[in-house]
């Protein structure tokens, strides 16, 4: 078994494609791409919040105080348009970012102490939420002046006005600490990266040591060697297991080092969560990757053994990405928590457990249940692979 293992491993390590998928991508490419995307998104979001917005306003005479607030704000620059009919074209041509239209009845409604509305025109698909929030901030300043006037006109004190506007409020006291709140977001993405890398790292070596040997005609020679089928299967399985596990562990190590190194550039809340993740937490994540890598190794080897050619094996394994992602999507559904039932569901339990570890709320009995159920499933899949390999109609399909 170990002779087969070492022979297959040396063969794979000579292959550049294997080195790329097991070392370059998990250690360098994915962490850098992920960190780079985070930095780019942060800078773009900051730019959208601070850049000067070109706007047009129609009916400014109906709300001169509001128009003055926009004119004085350094974050806005007014652009004159011919008529309100030019708004759509001007936004489409990027001459303006937004347009405000104050109707003629606006001043009358405000004077009669009635609620009034202005029209906001903008492209909601282009950083629309940030644009709307920035406009709301200026409008809220205008509303504050109107509320102050209402205090004097209606002879209401500030507490009385607060009661009229909002009689009952909710004072939120969350029991979740900062690590739990941020960890719930970060921990939801971690399984995607690790399981994706684990699957991808094992996929191409699996094609080589199964369907690739069939296509090259070397499988028959290997079967004639004085090695039992069980030893052959275990040797090939251990190669895939080693490659998949090594890639995912390297991914964890590389990502951890990258986050620690750039912790000063991270959001303070996220940096605090990263600092709170201990060596023990990383060890638990690594332990869960062991049965995950074993499951993928057994499944991929079974597929590769069944395929008649390299091309057929590649086609059969492509849907595995979708199949692997679906259980992780379940873990992202609001309300799905790590219970005893979910701790027995393959891959979903891994995703939920990783999220709990990052949050710092891992239930250790459930963690042991996840390890047991995942290891049991990996053993069943390996037994199936061994039985699959012993069938001549599988090895030598017409």
What is the overall mean pLDDT for the chain? Answer: 79
Sign of CA dihedral 12, 13, 14, 20: positive
CATH code of 52-165, in short, is 3.40.1710.10
Q: Is the pLDDT of residue 380 over 90?
A: yes
Q: Is the pLDDT of residue 329 over 90?
A: no
**CA–CA gap between residue 62 and residue 68 (Å, rounded):** 12
At residue 377 the predicted structure's pLDDT band, cuts being 50, 70 and 90, is: very high
- DSSP per residue, 209-261: IIIIHHHHT-HHHHHHSS--HHHHHHHHHHHHHHHHHHHHHHHHHHHHHHHHH
Tokens 């303070």 identify what position? Answer: 268
What is the end-to-end Cα distance of the chain in Å, rounded?
A: 28
Chain centroid to CA 264: 22
Taking only the tens place, the pLDDT of each residue in 280-309 is: 888 888 888 899 999 999 999 888 888 877
- The domain limits of the chain are 2-30+178-395, 52-165
Q: What is the pTM of this model?
A: 0.66
pLDDT given for residue 376 in this prediction: 93
Q: Among 333, 332, 343, which Cα is nearest to 368's?
A: 343
Q: What is the 3-state secondary structure (H, E, C) of 169-181?
A: CCCCCCCCCHHHH
Taking only the tens place, the pLDDT of each residue in 84-97 is: 888 888 888 888 88
**CA–CA gap between residue 4 and residue 344 (Å, rounded):** 34
Query: What is the dihedral angle through the alpha carbons of 218, 223, 229, 234, rounded to the nearest 10 degrees?
Result: -30
| 359 to 34, 110, 133, 146, 270: CA distances (angstroms) | 20, 49, 30, 44, 11
């Amino acid at each position: 078994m170990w002779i087969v293992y070492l022979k297959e491993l040396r063969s794979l390590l000579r292959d550049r494609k294997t080195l790329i998928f097991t070392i370059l991508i998990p250690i360098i490419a994915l962490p850098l791409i992920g960190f780079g995307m985070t930095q780019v998104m942060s800078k773009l979001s900051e730019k959208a919040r601070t850049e000067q917005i070109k706007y047009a306003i129609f009916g400014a005479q109906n709300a001169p105080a509001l128009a003055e607030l926009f004119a004085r704000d350094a974050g806005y620059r007014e652009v004159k348009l011919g008529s309100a009919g030019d708004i759509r074209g001007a936004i489409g041509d990027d001459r303006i970012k937004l347009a405000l239209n104050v109707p003629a009845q606006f001043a009358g409604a405000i004077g009669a102490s009635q609620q009034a509305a202005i029209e906001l025109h903008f492209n909601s698909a282009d950083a629309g939420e940030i644009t709307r929030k920035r406009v709301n901030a200026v409008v809220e300043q205008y509303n504050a002046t109107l509320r102050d006037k209402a205090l004097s006109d209606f002879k209401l004190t500030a507490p009385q006005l607060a009661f009229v506007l909002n009689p009952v409020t909710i004072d939120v006291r969350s029991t979740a600490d900062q690590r739990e709140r941020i960890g719930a977001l970060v921990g939801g993405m971690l399984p995607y990266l690790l399981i994706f890398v684990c699957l991808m790292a094992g996929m191409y070596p699996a094609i080589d040591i199964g369907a690739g040997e069939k296509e090259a005609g070397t499988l028959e020679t290997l079967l004639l060697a004085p090695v039992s089928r069980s030893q052959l299967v275990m040797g090939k399985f251990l190669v895939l297991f080693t490659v998949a596990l090594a890639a995912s562990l390297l991914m964890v190590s590389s990502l951890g080092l990258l986050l620690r190194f750039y912790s000063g550039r991270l959001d303070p809340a996220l940096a605090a969560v990263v600092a709170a993740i201990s060596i023990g937490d990383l060890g638990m994540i690594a332990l869960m990757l062991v049965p995950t890598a074993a499951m993928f190794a057994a499944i991929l080897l079974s597929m590769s053994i069944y395929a008649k050619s390299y091309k057929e094996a590649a086609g059969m394994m492509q849907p595995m990405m979708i199949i692997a992602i679906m259980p992780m999507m379940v873990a992202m559904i609001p309300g799905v928590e790590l219970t005893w039932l979910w701790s027995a569901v393959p891959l979903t339990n891994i995703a939920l457990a990783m999220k709990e570890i990052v949050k710092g709320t891992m239930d250790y009995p459930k963690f042991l249940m996840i390890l047991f159920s995942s290891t049991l499933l990996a053993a069943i899949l390996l037994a199936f692979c061994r039985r699959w390999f012993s069938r001549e109609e599988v090895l030598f399909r017409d």
